Amino acid sequence: MDAHANKVTASDLDPSEDSAASAGPLHSVLPDRQALSAVSAWVHDHSDDIFTDIQDLVRLETPSTDKQLLDQAVVWLRQRTEQVVGAPEDTKVFDGREYGDVLALTYGGTGDAVVTFLCHYDTVWDAGTLSDWPVTVEGDVAEGPGIFDMKAGCVQAIWALAAVRRSGLTTPTVHMLFTGDEEIGSEGSRDIIERYAALSDLVMVFEPSEKGRIKTQRKGTGRFFATVEGRAAHAGSHYEQGVSALDELARLTLALHGLTDLAAGTTVNVGVAHGGTRSNVVAALATAEIDVRVSRAAEMRRIDTALAEIRPHHPQARITLTEGWNRPPMERSELTTGPYRIARSVAALLDCELGEIAVGGISDGNFVAALGVPVLDGMGAIGGNPHARGEYISLSGSLERTAIAAGVLAALRVRHP
């Protein structure tokens, strides 16, 4: 199958369908325990296939910046989804240009609800990582680059949809989105994600769980770049004629760190700084990279105000701040707790415990919540060590999460009018 077949752009989404989902809480009708048990049994009966798919996808290296490798993963995801779930009613491959493409597969349902599955197939791992860190399986633990974040979640999404479609239970229409640039900010996929989210009653994000828990709150994040311009001078004979960019950057760093409010869930960190040329020259230029994390939209506004008011200490220095917010916070609200309660109830019928947690990390679920669309985030793998050597998943946990996701699909009804 050609990775470039049927490529479209975000503008090819039908504008007439761009209406946001109706306001109101999610409504669910839980399947009975026997029906859910049958779904879970079907998932467990296909455990070997699921585990093989996870390993096969991990063995396709997909660094966010390698377009050729990303294209190979799109082909695999498209083929495997069609083999497991069946032929979709609609297939779109949105051209990511320099980023990974977005694969969108739509499966019609037997109910009125509409759900979007949100998965990313890119990872933080460079090509060649598998050469000295291959996929391994020991007992219940599988390890490999990107397996936790979030190759296993992609596979779980495929098999969850297959399980519920074969169960005879009511199934919503499902848009399956596989994106290829989440780890580098979702610049190419954000518009597509938001367009599909606006059509949905629920977006289920197959990002990995945090200690097995659903993520009902995420911080928003901003990445800012500071450029400080001064004036060079001999540090010995003409010191007073210089304007030190490094002096300004040091003062700016203290001011920025002073904006941190741990009680409010806000951190501001100058993580990278460069400046100057030689020790005997007053530095004419300095730069810094700044990471900002906030738990509430009000804190975004406070930080914005503070940044707008920054002025250099020396009147002849100049400070320029560029870039800005990448993702708004996903605040804990009915948009996140409502779907979580449904998932927790489904898990209970399967004799599983499902907790919730607030995390500092971000996902594409942040975009969804900002639109006012319910989001169930962290439905992916159970495991640990994301973005680190030793990244792993629990294989039995993947089966459990797949069954829960299928149960949520079966339980979902349209929101109250």
Shared domain check, 82 and 172: yes
67 CB-contact burial (10 Å; exposed 0-12 / middle 13-18 / buried 19+):
middle
Domain-ending residue, one of 303, 327, 351: 327
User: Residue 101 is part of a domain; what is its CATH number?
Assistant: 3.40.630.10
Instruction: Indicate if 350 and 296 belong to the same structural domain.
Output: no
pLDDT tens-digit readout, 255-309? 999 999 999 999 999 999 999 999 999 999 999 999 999 999 999 999 999 999 9
Q: Which two tokens stand for residue 254?
A: 């203290």
Residue 380, C-beta contacts closer than 8 angstroms, at least 6 positions apart: 150, 152, 153, 156, 205, 206, 207, 208, 209, 401
CA distance 327 to 321: 18
377 is catalytic: no
pLDDT of residue 318: 98
pTM, two decimal places: 0.90
Report yes or no on 2 lying in a domain: no
47 and 135 in a single domain? The answer is yes
Question: 62: which residues sit within 8 A by CB, 6+ positions away?
Answer: 69, 70, 72, 73, 100, 121, 122, 123, 146, 180
In a domain, 1, yes or no: no
What CATH number is attached to the domain comprising 310? 3.30.70.360
Q: Which of 182, 183, 331, 377 is catalytic?
A: 182
Is residue 275 one of the residues assigned to a domain? yes
39 with 179, same domain: the answer is: yes
Smallest Cα–Cα separation from 200: which of 329, 78, 18? Answer: 18
My answer on whether 355 and 252 are in the same domain is no
How far apart are the C-alpha atoms of 80 and 410, rounded to whole Å?
22
Query: In the block, which residue shows the tokens 């003062």?
Result: 251
Structurally, the chain folds into a number of domains equal to: 2
Final residue of a structural domain among 285, 302, 327: 327
Q: What is the pLDDT of residue 5?
A: 56
**Given the residues 61, 122, 247, 364, the one annotated as active site:** 122
201 classed as catalytic: no
Q: How far apart are CA 296 and CA 182, in angstroms?
A: 22
Q: Rounded to 5 degrees, what angle do the CA atoms 223, 226, 229 make?
A: 170
Q: What would the two tokens of residue 266 be? A: 């806000």
What's residue 416's pLDDT?
46
Residue ranges of the chain whose pLDDT lies below 50 = 15-23, 416-417
State which residues form the domain around 386. 7-218+330-413
Pairing of strands 392-394, 136-138: unpaired
How confident is the model over 235-250, as pLDDT tens digits?
999 999 999 999 999 9
pLDDT at 22: 43
